[in-house]
Amino acid sequence: MLSRTAENLYWTARYVERADSIARLLEVAYRIHLIPNTDEGYLSEWDSILKASGMKQEYLKKYDQINKEKIEFFLLFDESNDSCIKSCIINARNNLKMVRTAVTLEVWNTVNSWYHDLKNYEKDRYSSKDLPEILDWVKKQVNLIKGTIDHTQLINDGFDFIRLGIYFERADFTARIIDVKYFILLPSSTYIGGQVDNFQWSLMLRSVSSYRGFRWAYGNSNIDYKKIIDFLILSSICPRSIFFAVEKINHHIYRLCEFYDDRNIVHKKVNAIYKGLSKCNADEIINFGLHEFLTKFIEDIGNVYTDLESVYFSGTDR
Amino acid sequence: MINIGLKQIGINLAPYMYMYNEVFNKKKIRDPYLNIMSWAKSLPHNLVIKKKLQAENLFKKIGITFSVYNNFDNAERLIPFDMFPRIITKLEWLHIKEGVTQRALAINAFLRDIYNKGEIIKAKIIPEDLIYKNPAYEVKMIGLKVPNNIYSPIIGTDIIRTDAKSFKVLEDNCRTPSGVSYMIENREIMMRMFPELFHTLNIEPVDNYSAYLLDILKTLAPRKCGGDPNVVILSPGPLNSAYYEHSYLADTMGIELVQGSDLFVKDNVTYMRTTKGKQKVDIIYRRIDDDFIDPITFNKMSVIGVPGLFDSYRTGNVNICSAPGSGIADDKAIYSYMPDIIRFYLAQEAILPSIQTYKCSQKKDKEYVLKNLKKLVVKEVHGSGGYGMLIGNNASKAKINLFSNKIKNNPNNYIAQPILDLSTVPIFKNRDLSPRHVDLRPFTLVGNKKNKLVAGGLTRVALKEGSLVVNSSQGGGVKDTWVLRE
């Protein structure tokens, strides 16, 4: 297929996944606002959410202070924010529009309707009251799109590029969301055992929609930071964990190598990350330093992407 | 000719009184429309509204939209679709088919001649200056060997009907005519909404167009092509007004839809960038204008073209369809010579007559035009899309003065034609059917030793009451067009 087609499919999927991630972040935001809190704690949570969205600088450039409704609007509809849900929907559709012929009519229809229906949710004046309904709609559409992709597309190289977009985005997002609050997962944390960290941990789990999943996976034993590290980074059953995403990336890059009959550098690198993670445990990560571990991971997976780009998206011979 | 009742536009049907109505003849419904009229009358009003909405949603969902330039707020628009079909009988169609095929063959023979020996000029049938000084004449094409001598394989002919027997050609489009996807999608949508109509009436299918097109293009492989040619469509990208059509055609032909940046030329061979590395391209069905094909050879500012593409073409490594410089054949100044062109190359009389055209470049014609602006349509020689046009009877004094000055300053740039009595077909309007002007664009395909034509075409309809302008950019809509099998 055309290199550009592969690239557009990849980015379509990334934007779809990003919209989903931002929706989950906003869900956490909504929950915070339901819980009585000291002003300081309240502000710091909003601060984390902006950081996790990667958009704090942009926000502060535009608005001088942290304000709940403004942040919500900024993450939902503010088109000057390239990662807001609206921008994600527009970008996903624009990318797909370039390569309409590479997806089924059903897939195009789901993405196109997502775009057209957006205006039903975007009111002249944004109000926090509407947030739950908007988020439900976004998540529902994302699942519809992903399901339609899985069940109508040919499972060929195009499918691999779509899946790669989803899982690169997810790996990156999960890593960032842990990194923003990595200090609540440190043994030295002064919050240990207190009310605050339990609340904070549950927020972190919720932000990757894994709160209930965690309970199921670890039974009724007490929450502790090691279990959370294990669950969000190393679990093979949590669909939002870093390991899960890496496993999928590894799988789809392997499939591409088979399909194109080449053993290129891309697979070697991701396979090394995958193997490293499968042998790793929470204690090792803690010893290495959680923040350092995440920083290294974000860099490594970024390198895999750079190689993917130069091998498959440039269209030159290798 | 319209010379009546224009003040009444918007009040009643008077403006249509003198024009040929395709449905009614002498107040009786014509045979081909009997079934459809009783169907249309039987539709309850609320169903018409419901179906109309349904059709719009289908167009929107599938993404059949066009972009209007300089309209950033509402970049994607739906082309208005009217559900009342336009019907052409088998006999009428055979006549049209013969006529457009004849024109398409003559146009290709003409292009071959003017870029080679120029016999039509030597025979003094067309003035030398009109060809060699024409901005649409491409000097770089002189003497160049074009695969199988087919310059323009896809020709859209705009036809109007003026009475029961006459179909006339308004315009030839032999660069990159668009609208064929609407012809097909209009049918798809009618079939989805009113399947019962298709059970009872015997209508020629139109969905074989893409297969025909691929078949024709594949007969035009360049000299240096081994095996099955790799055909691609070259599009300017999603911002182009016809992008939906480009992707539709690529999809239904099963070929790649490329943009300039997807292609590159190395050692005069054209390649596309793929996930497997570079892959040779043999035939390019280009939907970008001559000027933008290759920034090295043509417009230096072009960012949508491919550097070196013309050299690749010149050296027989790739074919570009239509050939650069084909546009001269649909130039409005050449149009008036079309009957002569047909006679010269095919030794036949034109089956479909042209419309009388006054060339402002000629003194006598210019004087006539300036005196009779109110009775004429004035067009720019190189304009298209209904822009830069004056319809005299309907225009303000200021606009007439403006054109009068324009013609005096630059007579060569203008032609004029009488205001024609285009036939009408009804549209659904409120609780009634209301007549509107229509034209027809069939798409003729010319390949090596064969040509093909899908039985149908795009019917464009001027939705504004009394209006003669059918262009989608000027408030025109479309209809499904039925060619009957018997």
Minimal Cα–Cα distance from B473 to chain A, Å?
A: 22
What does residue B279 show for φ and ψ, rounded to 5 degrees?
-140, 135
Q: Do residues B9 and B15 touch, judged by C-beta distance below 8 A?
A: yes
Check whether B328 has a pLDDT greater than 70: yes
**Chain B contact for A38 (CB, 8 A cutoff):** no
How many structural domains compose chain B? 3
Q: What is the spatial distance between Cα A93 and Cα A88, in angstroms, rounded to a whole number?
A: 8
Give the containing element (helix H, strand E) for B277: strand B277-280
Per residue in A36-70, pLDDT tens? Answer: 655 555 667 778 888 888 888 889 888 888 888 88
pLDDT per position as a tens digit, B182-199: 999 999 999 998 998 898
Question: Does position A187 have pLDDT exceeding 80, yes or no?
Answer: no
B461–chain A Cβ distance below 8 A for any pair: no
What is the structure's pLDDT at B481?
97
pLDDT for the residue B242: 87
Considering the domain architecture, whether residues B258 and B345 belong to the same structural domain is answered as no
Instruction: Give me A193's structure tokens.
Output: 């055992």
Q: What are phi and psi of B294, to 5 degrees?
A: -145, 110
What CATH number should be reported for the domain holding residue B404? Answer: 3.30.1490.270
Residue B71 sits in the same domain as residue B106: yes
Q: Are B272 and B234 in contact (CB under 8 A)?
A: no
Give the range of the structural domain holding residue B402, as residue numbers without chain letter: 356-419
A-B C-beta contacts closer than 8 Å: 65
**Residue with the two structure tokens 């018997």:** B486
Asked if the structure places residue B470 within a domain, the reply is yes
Q: Is B414 exposed, middle or buried (0-12, 13-18, 19+ CB in 10 A)?
A: buried
Question: Sorting pLDDT into bands at 50, 70 and 90, what band is A194?
Answer: low
Contacts of A260 in chain B (CB under 8 A): 275-276
Is B6 among the domain residues?
Answer: no
What's the mean pLDDT in B64-68? 68
Would you say residue B76 lies in a domain?
A: yes
Distance of alpha carbon B320 from alpha carbon A25, whole angstroms: 51
With beta carbons less than 8 A apart as the criterion, state whether B310 and B286 touch.
no
Written as six digits, the tokens of A214 are 């965690």
Which band of pLDDT confidence, cut at 50, 70 and 90, is reported for residue B383? Answer: low
Indicate the range of A146-160, A207-221, B92-106, B149-163 predicted with least confidence.
A207-221
Does B59 lie in the same domain as B70? yes
Q: Strands B269-274 and B263-266, how do they pair?
A: antiparallel
Question: ipTM higher than 0.95?
Answer: no
CATH number at residue B311: 3.40.50.11290
Residues B286 and B381 in one domain: no
DSSP secondary structure letter of residue A79: T
Partner A contacted by B56 (CB < 8 A): no
Q: Is B250 on the interface with A (CB under 8 A)?
A: yes
B309 and B255 part of one domain: yes
Is the model's pLDDT at A202 over the cut of 70?
A: yes
Positive or negative CA dihedral for B167, B171, B172, B175?
Answer: negative
Instruction: Answer whether residue B215 is part of any domain.
Output: no
Please tell me the predicted confidence (pLDDT) of residue A266: 87
Q: What angle do CA B454, B457, B458 make, to 5 degrees?
A: 150
Nearest Cα to B411, choosing from B377, B357, B363, B368? Answer: B363
Note whether B49 and B162 are same-domain residues: yes
pLDDT tens digits along B448-482: 999 999 999 999 999 988 888 888 777 789 999 99
Residue at B216: amino acid letter: I
Residues B311 and B349 both lie in one domain: no
CB atoms within 10 A of CB A99: 23
Residues B298 and B338 in one domain: no
Name the H helices within B150-270.
180-193, 195-200, 209-218, 243-253
Considering the domain architecture, whether residues B33 and B127 belong to the same structural domain is answered as: yes
Residues in chain B within 8 Å Cβ distance of A256: 275
Q: Which residue has the higher pLDDT, B239 or A142?
A: A142
CA distance A257 to A269: 13
CA atoms B36, B37, B42, B46: torsion sign: positive
3 state DSSP class of B403 = helix
- Do B464 and B341 lie in one domain? The reply is yes
Is B146 part of a structural domain of the chain?
A: yes
Residue B172 within any structural domain of the chain: yes
Banded model confidence at residue B204, pLDDT cuts 50, 70, 90:
very high
Using the predicted structure, report yes or no on whether residue B14 has a pLDDT greater than 60: no
Q: Are residues B373 and B277 in the same domain?
A: no
What pLDDT, on the 0 to 100 scale, is given for residue A37? 57
How many whole angstroms separate alpha carbon B204 and alpha carbon A300?
Answer: 60
Place of tokens 């315009």: B171
- Of residues A52 and B126, more confidently modeled: B126
Average pLDDT, whole number, for chain B? 88
B3 lies within 8 A of chain A by CB: no
* Domain closes at, from B253, B288, B317: B317
- Boundary residue ending a domain (B398, B419, B440): B419
Q: Is residue B471 part of a domain?
A: yes
Overall pTM surpassing 0.95 (yes/no)? no
pLDDT tens, A138-157? 999 999 999 999 999 999 99
Are residues B346 and B483 located together in one domain of the fold? yes
In the block, residue with structure tokens 């016999």: B119
From B419, B439, B465, give the residue that closes a domain: B419
A6 in contact with chain B, both atoms CB, cutoff 8 A: yes
Report yes or no on B406 lying in a domain.
yes
Contacts of B259 in chain A (CB under 8 A): 4
The band of B10, judged by pLDDT with boundaries at 50, 70 and 90, is very low
Q: Does the distance separating the beta carbons of B278 and A315 come in below 8 Å?
A: yes
